[in-house]
C-alpha cells in the first residue's frame, strides 16, 4: 500500500492537527454533473486507495459515487453514481444517499450511508472491488444519520455508531452504539455520548455525531467526531476526538473539551453550508505515528488534515471534559 498522505506540521504551528496546504483536495466541480463533492469516505485499496464520495448534482440530488487514487490526494471519481444490486434483501429502495463511510471487515468492504427511505435512515451495503455493490437491509427505522461501523467485531458482534435524529436538520443529536450478529438485524442500543453543557464546551453543545471509522489503539478506540453549536449565524460544525473502552465502547474514557479543528479557512467558512468541518474518513500509520483525516468543508469540497496519532491521543487525555 502507498504511504498515507502526509505533510509535516507548519513551522509556526502549535496545533495538534493542521490542514494540507493545497486544500481543498477535491473541488465541487470535479465531475461534470456535480454541484458539490463533500462528506466522503476513503479506504486503502490495492496499491492505492478507493473511496465513496457524496456528489450532489446540479439539481441537488444526493448520491454516492466510487473513486480511486494512487496517493490519496489526487482522485479520479466515476461520473455515474453507484448502482446497487440486492444483497441480503430485495428491498433496496432509496430516494437519496449521502455522507458515506467505508470499512474493511473480514472479507469485504462495508459501506454505510444516510439512506432515504421515508426519511433518513442508515443504509448498508458491501463491495469486494468498488465496481459491483450490494445493498442490504437498512439498519434502523427512520430517522437516523451518521452510521459508522467498527472495523472488527466486538464480543462476537458487529458494532455501529449512529445518531438518531428527526426528519430535518435537527437541533439535537446523541451518539449511540448498536450491535448485530449478521449485519441485518440490529439491537442492544446503548447511549455513548451526549452533547456537552454550553458552559463547559460550547462548540459541541447542540449535537454530536461519529465521524471516521474508529481506530483501535492501546488507549482504546479513538473516535473522531463532529460537534455542533447553534449560533446566531446557524449551525457551526467542528471536529473533536474521544477514547472509548476497547471491549465496551459505549463507555467514554476521555473526550476533548477544545476542538481539534474548526472552520477557519475560507473554504470551510464559505460554501453551500457555511462554517462546516465534517470528518468522514481517516487513514493511519502506527509505525510512522501519522493520522490523515478527510473532511467535508462547508458542504462543498473535500479537504484533509494531519496529526500525529500519539499527540492526538495525548491531547484527548490531557484536555478531556
Decide if 9 is inside a domain: no
Give the global pTM: 0.98
Identify the CATH number of the domain in which residue 170 sits. Answer: 2.115.10.20
How far is C-alpha 194 from the chain's CA centre?
18
Decide if 177 is inside a domain: yes
* Cβ(272)–Cβ(298) below 8 Å: yes
Each residue's pLDDT expressed in tens, for the chain with a length of 321 residues:
458 999 999 999 999 999 999 999 999 999 999 999 999 999 999 999 999 999 999 999 999 999 999 999 999 999 999 999 999 999 999 999 999 999 999 999 999 999 999 999 999 999 999 999 999 999 999 999 999 999 999 999 999 999 999 998 899 999 999 999 999 999 999 999 999 999 999 999 999 999 999 999 999 999 999 999 999 999 999 999 999 999 999 999 999 999 999 999 999 999 999 999 999 999 999 999 999 999 999 999 999 999 999 999 999 999 999
Domain count, the chain: 1
Decide if 154 is inside a domain: yes
Decide if 2 is inside a domain: no
Closest residue by Cα to residue 4 from 26, 20, 27, 24: 20
Largest Cα–Cα separation, the chain:
56
- Tell me how long the chain is: 321
Whole-Å CA distances, 130 to 31, 134, 221: 18, 10, 27
Decide if 17 is inside a domain: no
The bridge status of strand 301-307 relative to strand 290-297 is antiparallel
The 3-state secondary structure of the chain reads: CCCCCCCCCCCCCCCCEEECCCCCCECCCCCCCEEEEEEEEEEEECCEEEEEEEEEECCCCEEEEEEEECCCCCCEECCCCCCEEECCCCCCCCCCEEEEEEEEECCEEEEEEEEECCCEEEEEEEECCCCCEEECCCCCCCCEEEEEECCCCECCEEEEEEEECCCCCCCCCCEEEEEECCCCCCEEEEEEECCCCCCCCHHHCCEEEECCCCEEECCEEEEEEEEEEEECCEEEEEEEEEEECCCCCCCEEEEECCCCECCCCHHHHCCCCCCEEEEEEEEEECCCCEEEEEEEECCCEEEEEEECHHHHHHHHHHCEC
- pLDDT at res. 295: 99
Nearby residues of 217 by Cβ (< 8 Å), 6 or more positions away: 243, 309, 313
Decide if 171 is inside a domain: yes
Decide if 19 is inside a domain: no
- pLDDT at res. 168: 86
- pLDDT at res. 3: 86
What distance in Å separates the CA atoms of residue 224 and residue 105, rounded to the nearest whole number? 19
Which domain does 154 fall in, by range?
24-319
Amino acid at each position: 500500500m502507498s504511504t498515507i498522505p502526509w505533510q509535516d506540521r507548519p513551522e509556526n504551528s502549535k496545533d495538534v492537527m493542521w490542514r494540507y496546504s493545497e486544500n481543498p483536495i477535491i473541488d465541487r466541480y470535479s465531475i461534470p454533473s456535480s454541484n458539490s463533492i463533500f462528506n466522503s469516505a476513503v479506504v486503502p485499496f490495492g496499491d492505492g486507495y478507493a473511496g465513496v464520495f457524496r456528489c450532489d448534482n446540479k439539481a441537488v440530488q444526493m448520491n454516492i459515487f466510487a473513486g480511486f487514487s494512487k496517493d490519496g490526494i489526487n482522485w479520479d471519481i466515476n461520473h455515474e453514481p453507484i448502482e446497487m444490486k440486492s444483497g441480503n434483501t430485495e428491498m433496496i429502495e432509496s430516494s437519496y444517499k449521502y455522507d458515506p463511510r467505508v470499512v474493511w471487515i473480514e472479507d469485504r468492504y462495508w459501506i454505510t450511508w444516510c439512506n432515504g427511505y421515508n426519511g433518513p435512515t442508515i443504509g448498508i451495503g458491501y463491495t469486494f472491488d468498488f465496481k459491483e455493490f450490494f445493498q442490504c437491509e437498512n439498519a434502523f427505522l427512520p430517522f437516523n444519520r451518521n452510521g459508522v461501523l467498527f472495523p472488527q467485531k466486538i464480543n462476537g458482534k458487529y458494532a455501529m455508531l449512529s445518531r438518531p435524529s428527526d426528519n430535518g436538520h435537527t437541533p439535537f443529536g446523541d451518539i449511540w452504539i448498536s450491535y448485530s450478529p449478521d449485519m441485518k438485524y440490529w439491537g442492544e442500543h446503548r447511549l455513548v455520548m451526549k452533547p456537552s453543557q454550553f458552559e463547559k464546551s460550547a462548540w459541541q453543545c447542540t449535537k454530536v455525531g461519529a465521524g471516521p471509522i474508529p481506530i483501535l489503539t492501546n488507549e482504546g478506540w479513538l473516535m473522531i467526531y463532529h460537534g455542533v453549536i447553534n449560533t446566531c449565524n446557524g449551525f457551526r460544525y467542528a471536529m473533536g476526538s474521544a477514547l472509548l473502552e476497547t471491549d465496551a465502547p459505549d463507555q467514554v474514557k476521555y473526550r476533548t473539551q477544545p476542538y481539534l479543528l474548526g472552520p477557519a479557512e475560507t473554504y470551510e467558512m464559505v460554501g453551500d453550508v457555511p462554517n462546516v468541518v465534517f470528518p468522514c474518513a481517516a487513514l493511519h500509520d502506527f509505525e510512522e505515528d501519522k493520522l490523515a483525516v478527510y473532511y467535508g468543508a462547508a458542504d462543498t469540497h473535500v479537504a484533509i488534515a494531519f496529526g500525529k496519532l500519539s499527540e492526538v491521543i495525548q491531547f484527548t487525555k490531557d484536555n478531556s471534559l
